[in-house]
Amino acid sequence: MSTGRRSSAKTAMMKQQGTLNPHPERITDNLFRDHAFFDPRDLVQSRYEMLRAVREDGRSVATAALQFGCSRPTYYKAQGDFEAGGMAGLVPRKRGPHGGHKLNDEVLDFISQQVEANGSLPGAALAAQVLKRFGVQVHKSSLRRALSRREKRGG
């Protein structure tokens, strides 16, 4: 297998796993410039080496952050993530809420009751009722999709 194909496969894998460094060109550390083992596209490896440079080599946080193409707050976040979870802690996680936080079971039960009691209601009317009852603003399409998913699961 050629180096180009291996590089493409690795890039695709890192992209899929969310570990592809969006700015590998910002890394100026000698390890990543002089040694083939160190890949500036590998976000986890570059973050670990940044932490190691401060802890083991005695570099300042500002210098290490600059050489590894990130900010000091990014350094401290990586440090906290590493202390909390080791290498796995350096793997980026999806940001924001995970799952439907507005349309919980209580809201969906209410919507189902309204549909049963009143027949098929327009989505806008259901959304208005949810806003009035729970103080949660949701789009009519979101309500319909959530009900559809719930019916498919048998709930």
Reported as type and span, the H/E element at residue 152 is helix 140-153
Could you tell me the residue range of the domain that residue 30 belongs to? 7-89
Question: What are the tokens at 124?
Answer: 């806008």
Give the number of domains in the chain.
Answer: 2
The 10s digit of each residue's pLDDT in 123-141 is: 888 899 999 999 989 998 8
pLDDT, mean over the chain = 89
Within a domain: residue 73? yes
pLDDT of 2 reads 47
Within a domain: residue 95? no
Task: Say what the alpha-carbon torsion angle 7, 9, 10, 12 is, to the nearest 10 degrees.
Answer: 120
Within a domain: residue 100? no
The 10s digit of each residue's pLDDT in 15-62 is: 999 999 999 999 999 999 999 999 999 999 999 999 999 999 999 999
Boundary-marking domain end, from 38, 57, 89 = 89
125 and 68 within one domain: no
Question: What are the tokens at 153?
Answer: 């699961």
- pLDDT confidence band for 4 (50 / 70 / 90): low
Q: Between the ranges 63-72, 104-113, 142-151, where is the mean pLDDT highest?
A: 63-72
Boundary-marking domain end, from 59, 89, 119 = 89
